[in-house]
Structure 1
C-alpha cells in the first residue's frame, strides 16, 4: 500500500525529489519498479520515455488514486482513446487562441482589480497566496462566470481543502488530509452541478451565449449524435480539473517570476525594457491587446526557462492497458508508469549548462528536440490550457514590472514541493509603486499619484 510513497513525498517536501529520482536511475537503471500511492509502478526517464508516455496507445492516463477520487473518473487526465479525444476537443474549442483573443481585455480588467485590492497602497505582501487569489478570480470570472460574493468565497474554501490531498496516500480515515479533501470535493461537485443547471436554463431561455464561459461552451457542444456531447459528470469533472490546473500552476509561475526579478537584475532590466516599450505607446486606460502579447517574446522566454528549471508539475502517471515492453523490460498490464520532467529538462546533452538560467534557449523552440521540454506535456497530450496560461502570465507581468518595484524580505530563497513548488513563507516582498508618467504629460493630463 505505501511502498516508496512517503520517501518520494519527503523528498518533494525537502526539494530533493529530482535527486531522489536521479539516485534511483543511477542505482537501478533507466527503468525500475517500485510502489507509489498504493500501485505497482515503473519509473522511466529520458526523451524516448517522454515520447512513450505522451503518444503510446498502449498506455492510458492514470493518476494516483487520491487525484482520481478527488477530481472524478471522467476528467481528461483519467480518459484515454476516443473519450480522451472527444473531451479534449471540447476543452480545446474554448481554449484555442481564436476564442481566447476576445478574453484578453477581461483578463486585463481582472488584473487591474487585483492590483487595486492587493498591491496599491501596500508596502509588503506575500506573493504566492496573493497570486493564487488572482488566478482563482480569473478562473471564476472567465471560465465559469461565477461572480464575486458568498458563493465564490465558499467555493474557494472547499477548493483549497480539496487540493491539499491531491498527492497523498489514499487512506480514508477521519481527521486525515485525504478525508478532508474528499469531503471538500463532494461540496465542490454539488456547487458545480448547481452552476451547470443555472447555465443550462439561461441558454434555453436565450439569456446566455455559447462562448460566454467554459461551462456554457461545454453545454453548447453539438455534433453527430449524442456521443459528441459531454455528460454532466464529464462537465463537472473537467471543470474541476481546469480549475485545479489553472489555479496552482499559473500562480506558482508568476510567483517564481517575481522571485527571479528580485534576484537577477539583468533579466529584470530586459523584461522591464520590453514591457515599457509596449506601455509607452498606450494611454493609461488602454487595455492590453492580443497584438501587445505577441510583442512580449522575451518575457515569455523567461517564463519558459523558469518552467524548465522548476516545472510546477513534477511528473505524471500512465497505466498500461496490456503487457508491454519498454527499454528491454516487460511492464505488466495495469501497472502505473511514472515519468519526471526534470530528467530531460536538466540533461546537459539536451540543455548545455542546465543549472544556468538562460532564456536564449527558447529563442528558437523548434531547435529543442521533441519530447525534451515537457512542462506542458507533449504530442496529443499537450496541455490544452497552454495559451490561456500564456495570456495570464504576460498580462500579470506587464502590470507588475511597469507599476511596481520590489525586493525580497526573507533571506531564505529556497522552496519545497507540496506537490507544487512553494517558496519559503510564500515569498514575502517589500513593494513600492512607480510614478506613472507615460502619455499623461503628452496628453496634458495630470500625473496620477504613485498609488494608481
Structure 2
C-alpha cells in the first residue's frame, strides 16, 4: 500500500476514532466524583482499618462530605460507587439491574443457589417458598420450643455463675435455637459436631479463596463439605419421616421446604437449594442475632434508665403468669418497649454494616453513570445516623420507634428493605424478647472490664467478648 493510500485510509477512519474518544470522554465526565486510587488496591486498606477501629461510618461520611451522596473509589480490586440516602437505599434493594455481591469465598463455601446470591425471578421463587415458614402466624407455634431452648441455655451457662463472657454464650444460644427450630436437631453429640464444623466454615467466609493445605480457606472448605453432608443426611431422614407421617409438614424449616409442591405436585426446592439456604439462615442468624443480644446486654449494663424501663415491662408479664409457665405469643405482643430498645440498638449499631451490589449493565443514578461490572456500596448507618431523618442521632431514644409507620421508608434498613427485607426478622424478634425476659427478671449484671468499646470483624465484636459479673435474683 502506498503512503498516499495509507493516508486516505487513516483519514477515513478518523471520524470513528473521534466518536470513540468523544464517547469515552463523555462517559468519563459522567462518572461520579472521587478518586479510584492506586489500581487494584485503591482505598481497600483504609476501609479495612476503619472497619477494625469501628470508624467505617465516619470514613464513608468523610467521602460523602467531600464528594456528595454519590462518589467513586476502589474496594477489593473493583471500581466501586458509594451511594447514600433513602433513594439510594430503595434503589439498592429494589433494582433488578443490581446483582447481590458477596466475597468469592462465600459462594465457594455455601454455593450460589441461596437466597442471598439469587436475583430476579429465582430470588422471588426461593423467597416465596421460604417465607411461609417464617410468617408470624406460623412462628407462633414455635414460641414454646424457643422458650425451652432459652431456659435450658440459662440453666447450663448462667445459673450458679458469677461471671460470664457474653458474646460466645450468645453465639451458642443462637446456634442451638436455630438448630432446634430450623431443622429439629436436638441437643447431643450430633449438634456439637455440627457446631464445630459450622464455626470452621465461618472462619473462611472472608478468607482468600485459595484451597491449598494449611490455609484458613482450605480448612473451611473441608468443614463446609462436612456441614453439607450432615444437612443432606437430615433431609433424607425427614423426607422418610414425612412419607411415614411420623412428623408434621411444618415441624421445622426442612420439613416445610420438603412439603411444598407445585400445581403438578413437583418439588419447588431442589436438595441443593435446601442445603444452601439452611446454611445461609444459620450464618445470618448466628452472627447478627448474637451481636444484637450482646449489644443489648451491654446497653442495659451502662444505661440504668433503659434497664429499669425494660425490667418494669418484663416484671408485669411475670406477674400475669403462673410459676414456670413459658412465654407465649400474647406475652411477646406486650414487650413493646423492649423491642423498641432493640430497634434503637440496631439503628445506632447495625450488626450488618452494609453490603455490595454489582451492576448488570451501565446504569444511571443521581445523574451519574455507574458502568457495567462496577460495585455499588450501601451502608445502613449512613441513613440511620442522618440527623435530618433521626434528630440528635447519637442520642439513644427508643421513642423513635413508638410509631414505626412514621419512620420514613428506606431510612431504617437494619433488616434490609423491599424484596431484600430479611425474612428472618420475626424469628429474631422472638428470640431476643424471650431471652431478655429471662435475663432481666432473673439476673443483675455489671461490666467486668472498664474498656467498653468494640470493633467490626465485620460484625460488632465487644472488647474481650464482653465479660460481665452476674448475680442471680431468683429462681426462673
TM-score (norm 1): 0.93
**Residues 1:17 and 1:361: Cα distance change in structure 2 (over 3 Å):** same
More moved, 294-303 vs 141-150: 141-150
The reply on whether 1:79 has 2:128 as its aligned counterpart is: no
**Deviation string for 1:305-331 (max 9, x for gaps)?**
000000000001222222111112211
Map 1:154-303; keep pairs closer than 5 Å: 154-225=193-264, 229-303=268-342
Aligned partner of residue 313 in structure 1, secondary structure: coil
Map 1:60-99; keep pairs closer than 5 Å: 60-99=99-138
Alpha-carbon distance in 1 for matches of 2:276, 2:433: 28
Alpha-carbon distance in 1 for matches of 2:445, 2:175: 23
Alpha-carbon distance in 1 for matches of 2:197, 2:455: 23
**Residues 1:187 and 1:37: Cα distance change in structure 2 (over 3 Å):** farther
How many residues align? The count is 437
Which structure 2 segments of 5+ residues have no match?
Answer: 1-39
**Residues 1:197 and 1:419: Cα distance change in structure 2 (over 3 Å):** same
**Residues 1:37 and 1:356: Cα distance change in structure 2 (over 3 Å):** same
How far the C-alpha of 1:227 sits from its partner, in A, is 7.2
Superposed CA RMSD in Å reads 1.6
How far the C-alpha of 1:80 sits from its partner, in A, is 1.0
The reply on whether 1:133 has 2:210 as its aligned counterpart is: no
> In structure 2, what is the equivalent of residue 444 of structure 1?
none
**Deviation string for 1:177-227 (max 9, x for gaps)?**
333323322221122112111111211222221111001111111123477
**Residues 1:336 and 1:359: Cα distance change in structure 2 (over 3 Å):** same
Alpha-carbon distance in 2 for matches of 1:251, 1:292: 22
**Which of residues 330, 334, 348 in structure 1 aligns to 2:369?**
330
**Residues 1:227 and 1:421: Cα distance change in structure 2 (over 3 Å):** farther
**Residues 1:322 and 1:356: Cα distance change in structure 2 (over 3 Å):** same
Alpha carbons 1:144, 1:213 under 8 Å: kept? yes
Structure with greater Cα Rg: 2
How far the C-alpha of 1:38 sits from its partner, in A, is 4.3
> In structure 2, what is the equivalent of residue 445 of structure 1?
none
More moved, 128-137 vs 220-229: 220-229
Alpha-carbon distance in 1 for matches of 2:422, 2:107: 18
More moved, 337-346 vs 313-322: 313-322
Aligned partner of residue 298 in structure 2, secondary structure: helix
**Residues 1:35 and 1:185: Cα distance change in structure 2 (over 3 Å):** farther
Alpha carbons 2:258, 2:267 under 8 Å: kept? no
TM-score (norm 2): 0.89
Alpha-carbon distance in 2 for matches of 1:328, 1:304: 33
The reply on whether 1:12 has 2:23 as its aligned counterpart is: no
**Residues 1:185 and 1:6: Cα distance change in structure 2 (over 3 Å):** farther
> In structure 2, what is the equivalent of residue 441 of structure 1?
none
Map 1:415-426; keep pairs closer than 5 Å: 415-426=454-465
Alpha carbons 1:2, 1:169 under 8 Å: kept? no
Which structure 1 segments of 5+ residues have no match?
Answer: 436-449
Alpha-carbon distance in 2 for matches of 1:219, 1:243: 18
